[in-house]
Structure 1
Amino acid sequence: MRYKALCSDIDGTLLNSERDLSDRLKKVIKRLPIDFPIILASSRMPKAMRHLLEDLDRVNNPLISYNGGFVQNAKGETLESTTIPLGLVDKIYQFVSKTNLHISLFYEDNWYEAKEDYWSKREIQNTKTEPIWMQTEDVLSLWSKKNNGAHKIMTMGDSQEISWLFGELHLLFSKELHLYRSKDTYIEIAPKSISKATALRKILNECYDFPIEEVIAFGDNYNDIDLLQAVGMGIAVANARPELKMIANDHTLHHKEDGVALSIEKYFELMN
């Protein structure tokens, strides 16, 4: 089959050990037709992905942010926006307030942080973006006036406290929320109704004339399972979770070893 688009996760999949795009990857992407869609799908905010599209010379491409909660076309127009309702955001914040955990709030291209600490500094370095410094209570008050919710909530901190919080939230809100532990010290929280697969289908239905079975996709973690199952060719990097490897059509090298670039060369016959 001739695949007509590429969809890839970012962290742990597309980026190298320096959390950047390798020269090999950039070169192989340039060898694909300029109108060939390169669709990034991540839990990141849009701002934390656009600079990667710029580095790939693919600025006019769709984006799947917040694991599918915020979907934009190649012009940056919003195709879909699904948030955690404000009342539920407040309930989650009340749980976090009982701990020493860090909380980050996200809406569209806005990332809110209450304080500068180890966790916020780490995210600034990893994503190459800057937050809006605002107390969480003030963010909730602002959102109440604007009738906003959260596209994503992220909590970070001690792994035991993270485990406790995960258990409490799962017990009470598992029907309403995706609770995703990207690391032992992280929980990423999103609406239950969305996924990278639902977002990709939305983009294809609105912007292109080919089905999801003609897309090749890459991933490494639990939030990539639906995506790799939905596309025609789902590829897991060597560092992927075992559950993802089990459902993938193919495996490639570790993200630190240019696994995505290698598979693009293989499936698009771009070998040197």
Structure 2
Amino acid sequence: MKLRAICTDIDGTLLNSDRQLSPRTLATFRQLGPAVPVILASSRMPAAMRHLQQELGILHQPLICFNGGYVIYYEDGKSDPIQLDSVQVPVGVCQEIVALTHGTDIHVSLYERDNWYAPQDDEWTEKEARVTKVTPEITPLAPILATWHQAGIGAHKLMCMGPADQIETLQQQLNNSFANQVHAYRSKDTYLELAPRAISKATALELLLKARFGIGMHEVIAFGDNYNDIAMLQAAGMGIAVGNARDEVKAVANAITADSKEDGVALAIEKYWL
């Protein structure tokens, strides 16, 4: 099998215990050279991924953002991205989901391209800003949704954060009422991430590999740890789960590497590529 591209999830996969790129990871990726397609695929927004691209020396490479809902790349010297694909949760669905959280302790953030709207500067906002190195716009969500309604746009992602029992109840409600429109998965007990049902990291990766590189999915080595990585690992020529991955992810992987905290992605690249 000839591998020609690398795609990796970020949180829980590429980053270490400090949510940073380790020296070994940086050194390994820099050995690949600029010609190797290295694609970051995450539920994050672009601004929360660009600083990692800069550290890795891959600012010229495409990004799969919002679990596949926004696929972009940047041309040299230009600040605005070129869009390969954009799929959003319709604004009417967003409004209904936000309404479901009224009277609860659940924080809902809305994401659209490189815009992050948070209703208040609370513990959830502060934690997410610290991890992603992005500052949200603190604003009531109703006016944002009203503006979106007039403009005919929606959310690339909704992030619901709150007590585990309330998040579980919300997930059940969404699965009952919006299963055909929204994919809801828990990245942790207190986090529920919502994306359009029609997309995935796998569909986005296949699209961009064909459009930008003329490469097939069978020529990709992909890394992941969570439910939203399963389809990507299954579709890749070599799907590798990090040691801390969920059991369901390990079950579909071709191989299992070390934990993310132990440079699992770097170790696998050194083994299978370099």
Structure 1 position 104 matched with structure 2 position 109: yes
| Displacement over 6 Å in runs of 4+ | none
Distance 1:256 1:126 in 2: 16
Q: Check if 1:53 corresponds to 2:58.
A: no
Structure 1 residue 2, shift from structure 2 partner: 2.8
**Bigger shift: residues 60-69 or 143-152:** 143-152
**Once the two structures are superposed, what CA deviation does each residue of 1:152-199 show, in whole Å capped at 9, x if it has no partner?**
001111111111111111111111110111111111001000000000
Residues 1:264 and 2:269 aligned together: yes
Q: In the alignment, what sits opposite 2:179?
A: 174
Correspondence for 2:121: 116
Deviates more, 1:53-62 or 1:141-150: 141-150
| Separation in structure 1 between the aligned mates of residue 102 and residue 118 of structure 2, nearest angstrom | 14
* CA–CA distance in structure 1, aligned partners of residues 120 and 64 of structure 2: 28
CA distance in 2, matches of 1:30, 1:166: 40
- 2:136 aligns with 131
1:186 aligns with 2:191: yes
* Corresponding residue number in structure 2 for 1:78: 83
Equivalent residue, structure 2, for 1:211: 216
Deviation, 1:138, is 1.5
Deviation of the 1:145 alpha carbon = 2.4
Alignment deviations for residues 20-70 of structure 1 (CA, whole Å, 9 cap, x no partner): 101101111111121101100000001100000000011000000000000
**What residue is the counterpart of 1:16 in the other structure?**
16
Q: Give me the CA root mean square deviation.
A: 0.9
1:188-267 alignment, distance < 5 Å? 188-267=193-272
Q: Deviations over 1:79-100 (max 9, x none)?
A: 0000000100000011011311
Q: What TM-score comes out, normalization by structure 1 length? A: 0.97
The structural deviation recorded for 1:74 is: 4.6
TM-score (norm. length: structure 2): 0.96
Specify the code of the residue in structure 1 equivalent to 2:238.
M
Percent identical residues: 48
SS at match of 1:182: strand
Contact 1:73 1:203 in 2 (8 A): no
C-alpha distance in 2, partners of 1:46/1:210? 23
How far apart, CA to CA, are the structure 2 residues paired with 1:32 and 1:94?
47
Question: In structure 1, what is the Cα distance between the partners aligned to 2:227 and 2:215?
Answer: 26
